[in-house]
Structures are given as C-alpha cells and as structure tokens.
Structure 1
Amino acid sequence: MILILGGRYQGKTAYALKNYGSGTVVFDLAGQEITGMYGAGIIVNLQEGVRQLIRMDIRPEEYFRDNLAKLAGKILVGTEIGCGIVPVEKADRAWRDETGRVYQLLAANAQKVERVWAGIPVTLKSDPERC
C-alpha cells in the first residue's frame, strides 16, 4: 500500500496516475460508496470515505483496520483536512479528527507515504523491503 497525502488541488491524483498506475482504475470516494473501493488500484478522497463511515455510524479507524489486508497493493490518496481553522460544527470536528486517525493508521501500515504539494512529491516514509 502507498499513501499519498496533500492539500486540495495539489496534484495528488495526477502524481499517483503518472507514477503508480497509468491505466489503473481510479475509485473516487467523493461520489462512490466505500464498500466498492477494493476493486480499484487507486482510491482517492479517503477523507470522504471517512465521512461516509461516520454517517453509517461505523467507526472509521476500526473499519480501515479490519480491512487493511484488502488495501494491500493499493494506492490511497487523501486530502489533508486537519490544518487551518477548527470547524465550528461538532460533526465536522469529529470528521476531521477521525480522518487524522485513519491517516495515521494507514501511514503506519503503508510501505510508502508521500506528500504532494504543488505537484512536487516528498517521501515521508519508504520501506523498500515491503515495496
């Protein structure tokens, strides 16, 4: 599993396609149900998958932990939502917190973690023995 993080519209998906999966099926959690993501090679908008799970009253961290094996070999792309102003709404704060916990879990279990900013990747973690 490779985890790619960064801000909105920073080139994460384009980077993932160029470097890990030209021609690979991209699954967008912003518009598709999370349960269908396992058939794709690249899964984008992880933060929206977390939002879906919260709405279904499923604990996101547990869901992703229970499904780590299904994510092996996948490219996961998530938008950083933890910086900036703390949301006023309690539900939005919970979403932000849960997304951060899921990102930590995925980063700990990923073979590689990259941050893309302005289209430029920075490797945060690389475990060549697991790649």
Structure 2
Amino acid sequence: MHFVTGGAFNGKSEWVKKQYHLDDLEHSWYSAYKGDEIPELTDKQIIVLEGIEVWIRQMVQNIQADVCRQEWLSISQKWMKWESGDQQRKIVLIGSDISKGIVPMAAKDRVWRDTTGWVYQDLVLRADRVDMIWYGICQKLK
C-alpha cells in the first residue's frame, strides 16, 4: 500500500500518475472529489483512491470517530489483502493534509480533522511507502 499526502492542489494526483505511468497502464481511479464511492475489490492491477479526507468527512457525519477509524482500518486491511494476492497489484491512497492552519470553530469540523489525522496515522503505519507532495515536489517519508 502506498499513501500519498500533502497540501490541497499541490500536485499529488499528477505525481501519482507520473510515478506509476498511469497513462500507459490499465488502472482504476476512484475520487471522492468527483463523488465516487469507495469501490469493492477489482481485477485491475493498480487502484487509486483519491480524497480520503472527503470519505472520512462523510463517515464522521453518520458514525462516531472511533467507529470511523475502525472502518478505515477494515478498508485498508481488505485492500492490503487484495494487493498481497498478486505482486503486480498496488493500492495507492491519496489524502490531503488538513492538519495545518487554524483549528476549526465548529465541533463537527474538529472531529473530522482529528479523525482524519488518526486514520492517516493508521495508514502510514501499515503502508509500504509514504510520500508527501508539496508544490509538485515529492519528499519520501517511508
């Protein structure tokens, strides 16, 4: 599993496309920014899930933060199991860093921000590779 993070509009998606040569490879790209749902398992070799923080926001509106975190743990374990079934498979998760700046005034926004941070920590712990993209430049963290 590869987790990619960084600021909003800092080039994460373009970097992933270039890193994995996605213009040349068969892949599936699911984007919360475009209203896509988190998919079920697929037969494609590369799966990109973009906008993790948006899916987290949707979840914490309906369930408690700790339940949301456990749900993401379950989702990531499912995809890691899928990935381990074939060495050609790769799951790439892209999530914007929402931890910087002013702490939100609204309680529901603080819960979303905190939950996103916890989920990202869990993803980083389990990921084989972690990269941060700022202004189109990659910094490998793991």
TM-score, scaled relative to structure 2: 0.81
Match of 2:76 among 63, 68, 79: 68
Q: Which residue of 2 aligns with 1:119?
A: 136
Which amino acid in 1 is paired with 2:106? Answer: E
Could you report, residue by residue, the CA deviation over 1:24-78 in whole angstroms, capped at 9, with x for unpaired residues?
22101131223x2654711101000101111231622100112223222310000
Task: In structure 2, give the amino acid aligned to 1:68.
Answer: S
Structure 1 runs (4+) deviating above 3 angstroms are 37-40
Q: Does the C-alpha gap of structure 1 residues 86 and 60 become closer, same or farther in structure 2, counting only changes over 3 Å?
A: same
Letter in 2 for 1:105: D
| 1:72-124 CA-partner distances (Å, limit 9, x unpaired) | 23100000001000001000000000000000000000000000001010100
Q: Is the 8 A contact 1:61 1:101 kept in 2?
A: yes
Distance 1:84 1:62, change over 3 A: same
Q: Given the alignment, which residue of 52, 57, 62 partners 2:63? A: 57
Amino acid at match of 1:78: G
Tell which structure's C-alpha radius of gyration is larger.
2
| SS of equivalent residue, structure 1 residue 25 | strand
Question: Structure 1 CA distance, aligned partners of 2:79 and 2:4?
Answer: 14
Residue 28 in structure 1 maps to residue 31 in structure 2: yes
Q: Secondary structure at the match of 2:104?
A: coil
**2: distance between equivalents of 1:55 and 1:33?**
16
Provide TM-score, normalisation by structure 1.
0.87
| Residue aligned with 2:141, SS | strand
Do the aligned residues in 2 keep the contact of 1:82 with 1:96 (CA within 8 Å)?
yes
Aligned to 2:4: 4
Contact kept in structure 1, 2:132 and 2:139, CA below 8 Å: yes
Gaps of 5+ in 1: 126-131
2:98 aligned with 1:81, yes or no?
Answer: yes
Identity, in percent, stands at 31
Contact 1:3 1:110 in 2 (8 A): yes
